[in-house]
């Protein structure tokens, strides 16, 4: 079956702009999580959605937001972009999203803020 699909793969934005990233999970998966990967901070959890509800949120400013649609597809939005938002953004999907359930990752969206 098809894996997790993230679009676009690459983005270049200017400081102050906003950006929307998209994630299509594996068919049947209801949990979608987002992570930010940077050389300095490593992989950090942004938020997790299950059946259109945000169940968990990491320690990121309110400029980072997300949502999940009824078909489980998810989007994350970053407003008022800063240079430090440059990162690889990874999306993961799983059946339940809880505990030892395996999470499947997409290839990521590489965001560059200039």
Partner 1 sequence: GNSVTQMEGPVTLSEEAFLTINCTYTATGYPSLFWYVQYPGEGLQLLLKATKADDKGSNKGFEATYRKETTSFHLEKGSVQVSDSAVYFCALISQAGTALIFGKGTTLSVSS
Residues that bind partner 1 (CB under 8 A): 4, 6, 31, 33, 35, 42-43, 45, 48, 50, 55-56, 58, 90, 92, 97-100, 102-108
Q: In terms of C-beta density within 10 A (0-12 exposed, 13-18 middle, 19 or more buried), how is residue 83 classed?
A: exposed
In the bound state with partner 1, the residue whose beta carbon lies nearer, of 16 and 84, is: 84
Minimum CB–partner distance for residue 16 and partner 1 (Å) = 28
Q: Token pair of 13, please?
A: 């934005």
**Distances from the Cα of 35 to the Cαs of 1, 48, 60, in angstroms?**
23, 9, 11
Minimum CB–partner distance for residue 63 and partner 1 (Å) = 19
In the bound state with partner 1, the residue whose beta carbon lies nearer, of 14 and 39, is: 39
Minimum CB–partner distance for residue 85 and partner 1 (Å) = 19
Minimum CB–partner distance for residue 1 and partner 1 (Å) = 16
By DSSP bridging, strand 42-50 and strand 53-57 are: antiparallel
In the bound state with partner 1, the residue whose beta carbon lies nearer, of 4 and 113, is: 4
């Amino acid at each position: 079956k098809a894996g997790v699909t993230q679009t676009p793969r690459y983005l270049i934005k200017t400081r102050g702009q906003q950006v929307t990233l998209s994630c299509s999970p594996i068919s049947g998966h209801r949990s979608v999580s987002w992570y930010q990967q940077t050389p300095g901070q490593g992989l950090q959890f942004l938020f997790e959605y299950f059946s259109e509800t945000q169940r968990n949120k990491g320690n990121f400013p309110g400029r980072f937001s997300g949502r999940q649609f009824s078909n489980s597809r998810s989007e994350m939005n970053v407003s008022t972009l800063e240079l430090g938002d440059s990162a690889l953004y990874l999306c993961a999907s799983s059946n339940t999203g809880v505990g030892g359930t395996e999470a499947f990752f997409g290839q990521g969206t590489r965001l560059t803020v200039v």
